[in-house]
Amino acid sequence: MLGRKLQTIFLKNTFAVVGPAIAVFLVLSILLLRYPALDKLECEDITGVADYSGRLQVMYESDTRLVEYDAKNLYYTGYDYYVDDELAGAYYYSTENGYMDLFIIETDHPESFIEAHHVKGEIIMDNISVNHIVSKLAAAAGIKQELVESYYSKYVISELDYPTGYIAMMYVLCLAPAVLCALLLLYVLLVFINPAMHSQAAQLSVYGDVRQVIRDINYELKKKLLYKRENVYITNNFMIVSYMLKTEVIKLDMIRYMSKNIVDKKVGLKKEIEVYRLTISDPGVLFYEIDFLDESFIDEVVKNIRGI
């Protein structure tokens, strides 16, 4: 039966370890992807909106400030933007919407004119800079500033303020649990297909080639199973004891000594219970201690190991 194959037994150990982790990663992925802050990281394309300035105001006041915009005919204002005393960008304006729109374009070599540029940035409100730039531009054109008061937007789309690093970090945080969950599931699949990869298979190297030993055990579990009770399997040549987190495989012809003792075993922080302990060993090669709650259970195991 498939349920008696060694990889299925190993799989129980694997799920006992990675199952809770998969569940946690899956829940984290769902919660993070539904996290409200992610909505604010969505970038809205406002190219062609009827009321450009009004749309910027609504988005700014609703704290949804990341936008994309296909700007045309951008003119350099003559004012630059510095970060830590280094030129990082420049102020540009466009009059495509019927009034002056201001942008901070990321550049270290400002050009006097940009015919078309896809702006991806954050809406900021910078009244001092905007008023200063507009007053200088109006003065240069010989126009009083009060005449253009209603013809420019107080909101600026800044490429330099676009939180590229933060957005990348947030999406990595959101995707990491899902990726880890997928990797764990892949590991489960791989160790089922190739049980020699399983960490529990390393113990089999003492009996020869691990892959061949696994094939032998699988064959005997299917065709030559002599005894099966709870978590103990005994075949012609092997004894397999499966626990929640590990599986012990013992080759019967390597057992030199066996002893049965009654011992007190600590359970939890304070409680102790009496168990029957079977000690199996081959000095310098193998040593196992297997505990049983039922004396008849340990006696049956010993009997089948001896082949009586």
Indicate the domain borders of the chain.
40-162, 198-306
pLDDT higher than 60, residue 298? yes
pLDDT higher than 60, residue 270? yes
Which long-range contacts (C-beta less than 8 Å, at least 24 apart) are formed by 44-47?
A: 44/68, 45/69
Q: How confident is the model at residue 2 (pLDDT cuts 50, 70, 90)?
A: very low
Q: How confident is the model at residue 308 (pLDDT cuts 50, 70, 90)?
A: low
The residue with greater pLDDT, 274 or 34, is: 274
pLDDT in tens, 22-36: 888 888 877 776 765
Nearest to 302 by CA among 215, 222, 232: 232
Q: How confident is the model at residue 290 (pLDDT cuts 50, 70, 90)?
A: very high
pLDDT in tens, 113-129: 999 999 999 999 888 88
Q: How confident is the model at residue 80 (pLDDT cuts 50, 70, 90)?
A: very high
pLDDT higher than 50, residue 179? yes
> CATH for 198-306?
2.30.29.30
Least trusted range by pLDDT, from 29-38, 46-55, 80-89: 29-38
The residue with greater pLDDT, 131 or 105, is: 105
pLDDT higher than 60, residue 3? no
Q: How confident is the model at residue 1 (pLDDT cuts 50, 70, 90)?
A: very low
Q: What is the pLDDT of residue 64?
A: 85
Which residues are 159's β-sheet partners? none
Mean pLDDT of the chain: 87
Residue 260: CB atoms within 10 A of its CB come to: 14
pLDDT higher than 50, residue 162? yes
Round to whole Å and give the CA distance between 105 and 107.
6
